[in-house]
Amino acid sequence: EKEKFREKELESVSSKDMEDYIGFANLPNQVYRKAVKRGFDFTILVVGESGLGKSTLINSLFFTDIYSNEYPGPSQRIKKTVQVETSKVILRENGVNLTLTIVDTPGFGDAVDNSVCWQPVLNYVESKYEDYLHAESRVHRTTIVDTRVHCCLYFISPGHGLKPLDLEFMKKLHDKVNLIPLVAKADTMTPEECNQFKKTVLNEITQSKIRIYEFPDCDDEEENKHQKRIKERIPFAVVGSNVIVEANGKRVRGRKYPWGVVEVENMEHCDFVALRNIMIRTHLQDLKDVTNNIHYENYRCLKLGAVGKSGTTANKNPLAHMEEERKDHENKMKRMEREMEQVFDMKVKEKLNKLRESESELNRRSEQMRKTLDQQKRELYQKWKEFEKERTTFEVTNQDMDDTHRRLTLTLDMS
Ligand code: GDP
């Protein structure tokens, strides 16, 4: 088409006066040829629990078996920790090369505790920004290979609504990457259930103030009308399939069930075509632009801002620098003094507590001893009383015996 455009343009030029023709009208063709020659890089991050049909959908999107060689079957991919794996393919269509990188995150949401399973994904996204920033700030900048993540397809499990992990993930990543939420395995729901589910998901996303990627309008009015209908389908409910089946005498990519065939590329069956059209045919470049102009720029500003803050003293005059250092030192000493006072107070308090404890222990013991002594005293007194009683009885008995004896002696004497 571009070539035809160029030919037409040259025809119109030749019909005019060649003297008036400068040639910049040909610039778009130059840019086009250069871009085609260079090819395009595009990176898609796919996130979602195992078995939601991520690899099947990616293969369906690009009519290829991206995962066939490097990617084991789903059952083998269930891992306890989240991993980040990349697969790369070079696709060619009408002489245009697209280097497509698919970043998968096997293990996402599969563990018992998924509280931080978004972290490896976030690390990956940021590491790619870091690589790009590094490449940009090199003295000799050759053509930079753009490995940044241009969009994230987030697979939502069909059901009643978003899970806490879905919300957590989107909140962590929505300002770092272009988020496109997808309802996975849409063929497992009836059309009514699917529409209801989409509404619930969209509501929850809005209420949680999560910003998903907004497909912008284009310049063409007609195209906008068409795209509006596509945008109404967000979040796209998708169906994937790796096989070609027969439906109504046609061979189509689909899923065959006893009651009929779900056609992947039938807009009445699912939103697969809507997703493919808007993501690849019309908005691939915008996804790249938003990544570069917004997400990467945010990252860059934060990063360079942090460097700027730590490097503020470098530009000051030496006296101001010394004065600042002196103040810093003073503050440090004061802080140390305060800390030492706090430690001293703490130690004194500890000592006082210990003394109080030992004092109460001594009191307790002396009370115990006093009680024991009282008890012993009472027992002795009791014994003494008993002894006194015995003694009196003994003395009385003894007196009686003496009297008897005396009387007997007297009687004997008289006789
Ligand atoms: P992944 O672990 O998320 O990559 O999931 P796979 O693509 O490996 O798919 C897991 C299973 O789900 C496979 O048996 C697929 O055939 C099946 N599957 C994939 N996409 C769909 C779909 O759209 N609908 C249904 N019902 N099953 C699907």
Model confidence over 234-268: pLDDT tens digits?
899 999 998 888 888 888 889 999 988 999 998 89
**Whether complex ipTM tops 0.85:** yes
Which residue has a Cα nearest atom 17 of ligand 1? 53
Q: What is the pLDDT of residue 65?
A: 57
Spell out where 248-405 has E strands: 250-257, 260-263
User: How remote is the CA of residue 56 from the centroid of ligand 1, in Å?
Assistant: 6
Residue 3's pLDDT band (boundaries 50, 70, 90)?
Answer: low
Q: What is the CA radius of gyration of the chain?
A: 45
Helices (H), 63-140: 119-136
Say yes or no: CB of residue 74 within 6 Å of ligand 1: yes
By CB atoms closer than 10 A (0-12, 13-18, 19+), residue 111 is middle
Say yes or no: CB of residue 55 within 6 Å of ligand 1: yes
Strand 250-257 relative to strand 244-247, pairing:
antiparallel
- Residue 262 bridge partners (DSSP): 255
The token duo for 98 is 């697209």
Assigned fold of 41-86+99-310: Rossmann fold (3.40.50)
| Statement: residue 80 has pLDDT above 80 | no
User: Which of ligand 1's atoms lies nearest the C-alpha of 106?
Assistant: 2
For 195-238, write each residue's pLDDT tens digit: 999 999 999 999 999 999 988 887 778 778 878 888 888 899 99
User: How remote is the CA of residue 118 from the centroid of ligand 1, in Å?
Assistant: 22
Say yes or no: CB of residue 56 within 6 Å of ligand 1: yes
Site of tokens 């996303």: 205
Percent of the chain with pLDDT over 70: 85
Instruction: Count how many residues are written for the chain.
Output: 415
Q: Which amino acid is at 159?
A: G
Residue 75's pLDDT band (boundaries 50, 70, 90)?
Answer: very low
User: Which of ligand 1's atoms lies nearest the C-alpha of 188?
Assistant: 26
Q: What is the pLDDT of residue 96?
A: 83
Break the chain down into helix, strand, coil percent, rounded to 5. Answer: 60, 15, 30
Say yes or no: CB of residue 185 within 6 Å of ligand 1: yes
Residue 19's pLDDT band (boundaries 50, 70, 90)?
Answer: low
Peptide bond into 28 cis (omega under 30): no
Task: Outline which parts of the chain fall under CATH 3.40.50.300.
Answer: 41-86+99-310
Other CB atoms within 10 A of residue 296 CB? 20
Q: What is the pLDDT of residue 325?
A: 75
